[in-house]
Amino acid sequence: MKKNVVSRILALGLTAVMTVGLAACGGGSSAQSTAAQSTAAAGTASVSEVSEASSAAASVSDKSAESAAESTSSEPVEISYCNFNASGGNEEILNKMYEAFHKENPNITVNIETIGYDDYFTQMQTRVAGGTAPDCYELNIENFASYSNKGVLAPITGIDTANINETALKAFQVKGTQYGLPGDFSNVVLIYNKDLFDKAGVSYPTNDWTWDDAIAAAKKIRALGDDYWGIFAPTTYNEFFKEAAQYGGSLLNEDKTEFTINTDANKKAAEMMIGKVTDSHVQPSETDLAGMGDSDLFESGRLGMVVTGIWMFSTFKDACSFQWDCAVEPGGTEKATHFFSNALVINASADADKQAAAATWINWLASSDESAKMRIEASWNLPAINNQDILSAYLEQTPPDNRQAVFDSLDYLVTPPIIEDYSQMSDIINGKLGEAASGKITPDEALEQAQKECTEKITLK
Amino acid sequence: MRTKKKNERIGAALFMLPSFAGMIVFSLLPILISIVISLTDWNGLEKLDFSAIAGSFVGFKNYAEILGGGEFWSVLGHTLYFIILYIPLVFLASLLIAEILFKAKKGAGAFRVIYYIPVLTSWVAASLIWKWVLSPQYGVVNQILAAIGIAGPNWLTDELWAMPAIVLASVWKDMGFYGLFLLSGLNGIDNTYYEAARIDGAGKIKLFFSITLPLLSPSLFFCLIMSLINAFQLFPQVMIMTGGGPNGATQVMVERIYTYGFSYFKMGYASAYSWLLFILIFILTLVQLKGQKAWVHYES
């Protein structure tokens, strides 16, 4: 009898554990491979952590009394830095930048890790939660707000940020404390096909254009034939908060305590943005594009104007067989332009000396003359610096000829309305705008529904 | 004698210990911890220690919010839509493969490999390729349809056709897996049944429905349970091919769990979601187990 009970318990336990294992297997090999990738990434991080721990243990006892500002001493420090911006072709340049940095600061060794954008945030979140995050790393704007609100970022002190552009700096300040440095910046301009404009007999866009001007030109280009499209500006959340600003509207009120998505100004912006697709048909819908990307459409020479990022300059240079140029994007009742920047942040649970070294590294990366020059030469976005001489090297590269528009756009820049639940808010609004763009609901209804859903699901502090 | 058996048991337990230890630490323990997390408001980013858990404890609030909101039910609807399309198709396809491989004389080995290769590929790689195959402009599927005069839909960007597209890719990937199970089931059917039935004058169709299917039912039952459990956990294809779109048409349970946990920093909410999914699958499997008396014939 006893034997039966024991073997039954063992059998039950074995089945339970095996079913659990089976269920984990049933989840699919991709879950395991991404898990393997993140464990591998965490593995490399923990290897460097182990070596850092031993050197940190030696230097911590010396440094415990020193303030962060004083610990730029000659004690060798090893820190880890993780980023996504360099992935996909710029790893070499980042390494060259590090070599230049290391020449100036031979006591600071930086172990650089570059991970692709798609996998980056999942693994970073896991690492931060598990306590194995790198000493400094990169975040995009949305995640910056979430991370800084949850207290996992260290305030950046003890460095000279005079070289850095004020607006870019402000974007990464929370309640007056600096939590990130702008690693680079990029923005969005109106890029247009000069040959198509000539064909349609329309004069080129100027910096003063409004959406009315743009749509009028788009209609003339669309009239060239069924295959031709006048303009493309995305109908997504990312485009919408900017176009709302162009009509004097905004998604949140001044102190970000309330959603103001369904205001009249916003509705006007949404009607213009979506009307290009659903009413005047100068912009192709998802169905019309049939899987083709907007930049592909522009490169094929069948799109008159495209509102897209300056990072497309080098791609268009190689792929476009026609003349093209750029201008500040059209405005509504006022001008508003995008400003994209990635934050370089410091891990709040890193040791004091590592935090100091990390601050020196990211400040150098963001604002030193050498890194800025290297960045511009490699066309790897733009440094968010004040030094106009270095920035002017960017202007000398062509095409497009009117690169000055990139800097003119900075006069009207708006940053995204950052709140803690930024991802959720942008997904909700994106979804509603998508429904409006496919004609399921009107733009007004989209904004009303978005307002309702955001107020229900998201609590603003 | 007793001591010898006791020693054997101890020896067996020690041998199994490493494997058990791994399963407990990497499977059982996280599962138990996730129950605790589902009762909190943890954001998935802050360090998880006792004070964090105590500070963010919210009881069953997450469960109430999920069940009370409309999203859970519409997402469940999408998942069921997938299942209703997927299960019959994958069974049909696997039965077909099993029958073909069963009857094949030459080249059976090579075909077995060919049908099984999709099963061995990673879902990530397969999804990326299917994304291209289903491209409205450049994809193979629409080009083949155009050749026979049909204008193919926009597949992954069309609200109506996105889920059927995912079903198509899933059936392609899984039919070899279940096909092989059913093949071994077919091989296990005693030939004497067929001989006796042929003597009685039964035709091919009668043979199939009266002998093959009933005697195959244990294998079919196993495949049904496995495919249902997997279908509820539909994830990699959705994330890569549609990302939950277009307009939320392909948002399924695990996609929502991932989004809430990793994009919206609501790990507590996501844990509650996954436990609700577990309860759902558990109940369904129980129902199947009870229901097998009706249609599954085990050879005594």
User: Residues A64-75: pLDDT tens digits?
Assistant: 434 444 445 578
The nearest CA of chain A is from the CA of B104 a distance in Å of 30
Query: CA A358 from chain center: how many Å?
Result: 21
What's the pLDDT band for B221 if we cut at 50, 70, 90? Answer: very high
Confidence grade of residue B137 (pLDDT, cut at 50, 70, 90): confident
What is the pLDDT averaged over residues B31-50? Answer: 88
A13 and A85 Cβ atoms separated by less than 8 Å:
no
Report the amino acid identity of residue A194. K
Give the gap in angstroms from C-alpha B76 to the nearest C-alpha of chain A.
18
Cβ pair B44:A423 closer than 8 A: no
ipTM (interface pTM) = 0.77
pLDDT at residue B255 in the model = 93
Interchain pair B45, A29: CB under 8 A: no
Consecutive H or E run containing A78: strand A77-83
Give chain A positions within 8 Å (CB) of B230.
26, 28
- Distance separating alpha carbons of residues A342 and A182, to the nearest angstrom: 6
CB pairs under 8 A between A and B: 102
Mean pLDDT of chain A: 82
With an 8 Å Cβ cutoff, is B158 touching chain A?
yes
pLDDT recorded at residue A318: 83
Structure-token match 């989004």, residue found: B259
| Residue carrying structure tokens 């460097």 | A48
Nearest to B157 among A17, A147, A291 (CB): A291
Share of chain B above pLDDT 70, in %: 99
A80 HSE (CA, 13 A, CB side) = 24
| Cα-Cα-Cα-Cα dihedral sign, residues B130, B131, B135, B139 | negative
Question: How is B40-92 classified by DSSP, letter by letter?
Answer: B---SSS--SHHHHHHTB-TTHHHHHHHHSHHHHHHHHHHHHHHHHHHHHHHH
CB A228 within 8 A of CB A222: yes
Note whether B24 contacts A17, CB cutoff 8 Å: yes
Residue A58 has pLDDT above 50, yes or no: no
Per DSSP, the three-state class of B161 is coil
User: Which chain B positions have a beta carbon within 8 Å of A23's beta carbon?
Assistant: 229
End-to-end, the C-alpha distance of chain B in Å comes to: 34
Instruction: Please state, in angstroms and rounded to a whole number, the distance separating the CA atoms of residues B133 and A270.
Output: 34
CA–CA min distance A421, chain B (Å) = 6
Compute, in degrees rounded to 10, the torsion defined by CA atoms A93, A96, A101, A105.
150
Q: pLDDT class for A47, splitting at 50, 70, 90?
A: very low
Which of B264, B277, B285 should we substitute to test contact with A (largest number of A Cβ atoms within 10 Å)? B264
For B199-237, give one letter per residue: b (16+ CB within 10 A) or e. eeebeeeeeeeebbeebbbbbbbebbbbbbbbbbbbbbb
The whole-number pLDDT of residue B102 equals 86
- In what order do the strands lie in the sheet containing A136-139? A108-114, A77-83, A136-139, A340-346, A180-186
Number of DSSP helices (H) and strands (E) in chain A, helices first: 19, 11
- In B84-143, the residues whose Cβ lies within 8 Å of chain A are 122-124, 127, 135-139
Q: What is the 3-state secondary structure (H, E, C) of A294-329?
A: HHHHHHCCCEEEEEEEHHHHHHHHHHCCCCEEEECC
- Which of B120, B117, B102, B119 lies closest to B184 in space, CA to CA? B102
Q: What is the dihedral of CA A9, A15, A20, A23, to 10 degrees?
A: -160
Q: Kindly identify which residue of chain B lies nearest to residue A429, measuring between CA atoms.
A: B247
Q: Does B164 touch chain A (CB under 8 A)?
A: no
- In angstroms, rounded to a whole number, what is the distance separating the alpha carbons of residues A176 and A173? 6
The number of angstroms, rounded, from the C-alpha of B175 to the middle of its chain's C-alpha atoms is 12
- Chain A residues whose C-beta sits inside 8 Å of any chain B C-beta: 6, 17-18, 20-21, 23-24, 26-31, 33-34, 121-122, 125, 128-129, 131, 146-147, 150-152, 286-287, 290-292, 349, 421, 423-424, 427, 431, 434-435, 438, 440
- Mean pLDDT for B17-27 is 93
pLDDT for the residue A27: 39
Is the pLDDT reported for residue A2 higher than 60? Answer: no
Interchain CB distance below 8 Å, A20 and B23: yes
| Closest residue by Cα to residue A218 from A204, A229, A207 | A229
Residues B152-174 pLDDT 10s: 888 888 888 999 999 999 999 99
Q: How far is B199 from chain A (nearest CA, A)?
A: 44
Asked if the C-beta of B20 comes within 8 angstroms of chain A's C-beta atoms, the answer is yes
Q: What is the mean pLDDT of residues A30-45?
A: 36
Q: Give the span between the Cα atoms of A329 and A214, in whole angstroms.
A: 9
Q: Which long-range contacts (CB under 8 A, 24 or more apart) does A7-14 make?
A: none
Mean local confidence (pLDDT), B51-76: 89
User: In which band, very low, low, confident or very high, does the pLDDT at A346 lie, cut at 50, 70 and 90?
Assistant: very high
Report the pLDDT value the prediction gives residue A18, as an integer from 0 to 100: 54
Q: For chain B, what's the residue count?
A: 300
Provide mean pLDDT across the span A301-310. Answer: 91
For residue B2, what pLDDT is reported?
A: 66
**Average pLDDT in the B243-254 region?**
88
Tens of pLDDT along B97-136?
Answer: 998 888 877 878 888 888 899 999 999 999 999 988 998 8
pLDDT of A52: 38
Q: What is the pLDDT of residue A391?
A: 84
* Section A271-287 average pLDDT: 90
Gap between the Cα atoms of B23 and A214, Å rounded: 62
**How far is the alpha carbon of A127 from chain B, nearest alpha carbon, in Å?**
9
Contact B265 A125 (CB under 8 A): yes
Q: How confident is the model at residue A9, as a pLDDT?
A: 56
Closest CA of chain A from B215, distance in Å? 26
Q: Return d(Cα B205, Cα B212) in angstroms, integer.
A: 10
Please say whether the beta carbons of A191 and A324 come within 8 A: yes
Measured between CA atoms, the residue of chain B closest to residue A123 is B262
Helical H runs in A107-260?
117-130, 141-149, 166-171, 194-200, 211-222, 237-246
Which of B161, B255, B265 is most worth mutating to test chain A (most A CB atoms within 10 A of its CB)?
Answer: B265
Find the angle CA(B60)-CA(B63)-CA(B66) to the nearest 5 degrees.
Answer: 150
Tens-place pLDDT, residues A99-154: 999 999 999 999 999 998 888 988 998 899 888 999 999 998 878 888 888 889 99
Q: How far apart are CA B153 and CA B249, in angstroms?
A: 15
- Partners of B233 on chain A (C-beta within 8 Å) are 26-28
**Structural Rg of chain A based on CA atoms:** 26
Kindly report, residue by residue over A227-271, the tens digit of the pLDDT: 899 999 999 998 999 999 999 999 998 888 889 999 999 999 999
User: What mean pLDDT do residues B254-269 have?
Assistant: 92
pLDDT band at A32 (very low <50, low <70, confident <90, very high): very low
**How far is it, in rounded angstroms, from Cα B135 to Cα B139?**
4
Q: Mean pLDDT, to the nearest integer, of A310-338?
A: 89
Distance, CA of A150 to CA of B193 (rounded, Å):
69
Helix (H, G, I), strand (E, B) or coil at B300: coil
Minimum mean pLDDT range among A12-16, A127-131, B216-220: A12-16
* DSSP code of residue A409: G
Q: Compute the distance between CA of residue A155 and CA of residue A143 in angstroms, rounded to an integer.
A: 16
Interface mutation target, options B14, B19, B26, B27, chain A, most CBs of A under 10 Å: B27
- What is the pLDDT, as a whole number, of residue A415? 82
Rounded to an integer, what distance in angstroms lies between the CA atom of residue B175 and that of residue B115? 8
> What confidence score (pLDDT) does residue B54 get?
83
- pLDDT class for A53, splitting at 50, 70, 90? very low
Cβ <8 Å between A434 and B247: yes
Residues of chain A neighbouring B265 (CB-CB closer than 8 A): 125, 146, 150, 421, 423
Write the single-letter amino acid at B43: N
- Looking at residue A7, its pLDDT comes to 60
